[in-house]
Amino acid sequence: MLKKVIAFANQKGGVGKTTCAVNLAAAFAASQHKVLLIDLDPQGNATMGSGVDKNRIQYTVNEVLQEEVSIRDAIITKTPGGFAMLPANGDLTAAEVALLRRAGQESNLKQAINIIRSEYDLILIDCPPALNMLTLNALVAADSVIVPMQCEYYALEGLTALMGTIEQIQGSLNPQLAIEGILRTMYDPRNRLSTEISAQLIAHFGTKVYQTVIPRNIRLAEAPSHGVPILLYDKGSRGSEAYMGLTREILRHTQKIPLLAAVE
């Protein structure tokens, strides 16, 4: 059984982190897993991309982090993609400021998740593109981290910084935190730099680099504006096929089952 909390983190923005979180949530839901997606970014992109209007919700992860409401009261139990959602909007900035003012607040999200953890096969957390108190809460709560990254020079610098952060958290706040995998996004095999950096990643991180790559795909880029995951927007697209392939690969690593049997 899966039973994991996985954070999507990268201190560099624009790497497709939210796209990964939303579409993996939908792909796992389609494979009959009970999934909760937590939007931990004040921009609320994962919320909107999941078909939830961030401006028309009563409670968000903000109230949960500030211990004003129970996590159960804030969860939207069903989205168009078939997964549950703990939404976010601009109010989450207030939570970040409040958490910074009080000591020992890096475990608030973990404490909230522990209340409902046993009810889900998979809990995914979409982190903001910065190392702040929100990201820290996610990394303390998570069992592991998926690092989406583009195969470009500056992405390697961001990856190095993130690895340093993860090591620090392992040494103090969450010794069990592990790298679930490194995911190459917006990948174009015709780009020489992409192939070179991809080779460097594999040489350094080995099997931690997913075999599945997420291609540059116009349908994948269009889906968020329609408020649905790619699986609902264009199931036959290359982007959709890539995320279903990634789901199979993650399940194979986790459950040690044959790749083709993981997702029907």
Inform me whether the pLDDT recorded for 260 exceeds 60.
no
Inform me whether the pLDDT recorded for 69 exceeds 80.
yes
Taken in order of first residue, the domains within the chain and their CATH numbers are 4-141+215-261 (3.40.50.300)
Structure tokens that stand for 45 in this block: 């992109």
Per-residue pLDDT tens for 112-170? Answer: 999 999 999 999 999 998 888 999 999 999 999 999 988 887 777 778 888 999 999 99
DSSP 7: E
Nearest Cα to Cα of residue 161 among 11, 9, 8:
11
Which of 37-46, 116-125, 255-264 is the least confident region? 255-264
Cα angle 213-159-191, degrees, rounded to a multiple of 5: 45
Give the pLDDT band (50/70/90) at residue 1: low
Specify the residue for token string 């108190």. 133
Specify the residue for token string 């969860």. 75
Per-residue pLDDT tens for 80-89? Answer: 999 999 999 9
Inform me whether the pLDDT recorded for 252 exceeds 50.
yes
Specify the residue for token string 């991809």. 198
Element (H, E) at 211: strand 209-215
- At residue 90, the pLDDT reads 94
- At residue 160, the pLDDT reads 83
- At residue 262, the pLDDT reads 35
**Partners of 123 in the beta sheet?**
5, 36
Report pTM. 0.92
